Amino acid sequence: MSLLATHALYKSFGQLVVADGIDFELGPGDRHALIGPNGAGKTTFVNLLTGALAPSDGRVMLDGRDITRLGEAQRVKRGLVRTFQINQLFAGLTVLENVALAVAERRGAASVFWTPLRRRADLIDEAADLLVQLDLTAVADTAVAAVPYGLQRMLELALALALKPRVLLLDEPTAGVPSAESHRMLEAVEALGQDLAVLIIEHDMDVVFRFASAVTVLVGGKVLVQGAPDEIARNADVRAVYLAESRDD
């Protein structure tokens, strides 16, 4: 059974159609890549999945339940978690504090206003363990604004993982990261539980072919083709789209 699915998902801003009847499925353990040229509606699709945008028509299902009307926070509580293409971190706080905030939210501790945070060593310890897991301990005590960009991208991932997702949406996680570091990040994602479903938006084809077991190509808000990576690589339509794209670069 699919974990996350969309049925005829449609979104328009006036005349501009940004999601045009997208059908999509993601099962437990899937490693699915979403690719497409700039402006294909990839991030819009993620925003529709997370609830940041409300669709004009169609449905989003999680665990077979209709979550189309649910808010962003409620979807997160059900295990649908995202990262951002452009870092969305707490710049003034340290790396450990950033992750501790995410842990506190997941465990419902963030609505407690009478117990001092320092007495919640459980939150701090869990955050610290995650930093060890992602090899971020060297910057644990550094304010995020002073942390190198590559490590900030890693922290983006850490904040999502702290929520113990069941479905993880990665919006260009390796954007702007040198390939040595992007490998580290993908290894961290690959090491995650086999029940976890991952949807990765990615421009770097090396990353896509290394990581994904299935690929969806989005063009103009429509699914152009879906399939295994090697099928996609051979697909004439996809090559046409991407060759046109690469000539623009």
Partner 1 sequence: MSGDALAAAKARAAGFGRWHPAEALVWIAAIAAYFVFPGYMALGAQALILVLFALSLDLILGYAGIVSLGHAAYFGIGAYAAGMLSAHLGWHEPISGLLVAGAVAAAYGFLTGVVLLRYHGLTLLMLTLVAAILLYEAANAWSDVTGGFDGLLGITPAPLFGTFEYDLWGRTHYWYVLAVLFICFLGARRLVYSPFGRALVGLRENTRRMHALGAPVYWRQVQIYTIACAMAGIAGGLFAQTNAFVTLDAMSFLRSGTVIIVLILGGVGRLYGAFIGGVVYAVLEDELAKASPEFWEFGIGLVLVCLVLFARDGIAGVAVRLWQRWRR
Residues contributing to the site for partner 1 (CB under 8 A): 50, 52, 72-77, 81-82, 84, 88-97, 100-102, 104-106, 109-118, 120-121, 123-125, 128, 131-132, 137-142, 159-160, 163
Nearer to partner 1, 15 or 115 (CB): 115
Distance of closest approach, residue 138 Cβ to partner 1, in angstroms: 4
d(CA 104, CA 112): 10
3-state SS class at 249: coil
Contact 175, 115 (CB under 8 A): no
3-state SS class at 67: coil
Nearer to partner 1, 19 or 147 (CB): 147
CB under 8 Å to 178, separation ≥6 — which residues? 150
Query: Nearest-5° angle of CA 16, CA 238, CA 29?
Result: 90
Q: Which residue matches tokens 């951002």?
A: 84
Report DSSP letters for 128-197, one per residue: HHHHHHTT-GGGTTSBGGGS-HHHHHHHHHHHHHTT--SEEEEESTTTT--HHHHHHHHHHHHTS-TT-E
d(CA 171, CA 102): 18
Nearer to partner 1, 161 or 214 (CB): 161
Distance of closest approach, residue 186 Cβ to partner 1, in angstroms: 21
Distance of closest approach, residue 205 Cβ to partner 1, in angstroms: 27
3-state SS class at 212: coil
Tell me the two tokens of residue 51.
Answer: 């609830």
Write down the number of H helices and E strands in the chain.
9, 10
Nearer to partner 1, 12 or 94 (CB): 94
d(CA 53, CA 11): 9
Distance of closest approach, residue 63 Cβ to partner 1, in angstroms: 16
Distance of closest approach, residue 84 Cβ to partner 1, in angstroms: 7
Nearer to partner 1, 188 or 225 (CB): 188
Nearer to partner 1, 31 or 82 (CB): 82
Distance of closest approach, residue 215 Cβ to partner 1, in angstroms: 25
Distance of closest approach, residue 131 Cβ to partner 1, in angstroms: 6
Nearer to partner 1, 25 or 156 (CB): 156
